[in-house]
Chains A and B, each alone.
Chain A
Amino acid sequence: NAGVTQTPKFQVLKTGQSMTLQCAQDMNHNSMYWYRQDPGMGLRLIYYSASEGTTDKGEVPNGYNVSRLNKREFSLRLESAAPSQTSVYFCASIARGLAEQFFGPGTRLTVL
């Protein structure tokens, strides 16, 4: 039982490059979320998926796209990376309203 896994753990991109961050959960949860965390700040919601086949924008969706591939997997894509997207990205799997929240280990992304 791995909980929430994220790949990659670290990534360095050049401005304009694209990449996809992967997230998977094995807890059979319906809801999955993507957050970013900048130094000295709390988490900000990028996108979330309340169930398989649905996605919704959060606070800071510009520059990102998501795909809820199936119930287990929720990916985040940067089509054209910018230095402002340098951050730590966390995926979370949510159940029982918001009473259960499990976070992945994070992806540390640097855009040069």
Chain B
Amino acid sequence: QKEVEQNSGPLSVPEGAIASLNCTYSDRGSQSFFWYRQYSGKSPELIMFIYSNGDKEDGRFTAQLNKASQYVSLLIRDSQPSDSATYLCAVNVDGRKLIFGQGTELSVKP
């Protein structure tokens, strides 16, 4: 059974802090890893993807991948109230299908 696990939260951080969102996966053959932001009642939006071990930065977002530990994380620096949303992690094994975690709800308090 392929699984992707996320802490459902809610994760609450103060404005300006770093939010750290975590995701673990069970299939060692996983090839690529994706983070999405989903506002309440809206559709998911792809914000980051990472293929290789290490860090990938895009603006205030950093994705971190550790394949040995089967762990991928998303860091949001200088968190803003507009970052309050559910963040979904997804893992790809075969180049086509994505397995999603249940999402972590993030709340950024002014």
Contacts and interface: CB of A to CB of B under 8 A. Distances in A.
Nearest to A91: B43
Interface string A22-65: 00000000010000000011111100101000001011000000
Interface in B40-78: 42-46, 49
Nearest to A6: B43
A44 B96 contact: no
Contacts of B45: 103
Contacts of B43: 90, 103-106
Interface residues of A, number: 23
A18 interface: no
Nearest to A105: B43
Interface string B87-98: 010101001111
Interface in B85-110: 88, 90, 92, 95-103
A39 to B, nearest CB: 10
Contact of B97 (A42, A58, A102): A58
A45 B44 contact: no
Given A90-B44, A103-B45, A106-B43, A98 B92 contact: yes
B100 A42 contact: yes
Contacts of B8: 40
Nearest to A98: B92
Contacts of A56: 96
7 contacts: A42-B6, A43-B98, A50-B96, A59-B97, A98-B32, A105-B42, A106-B43
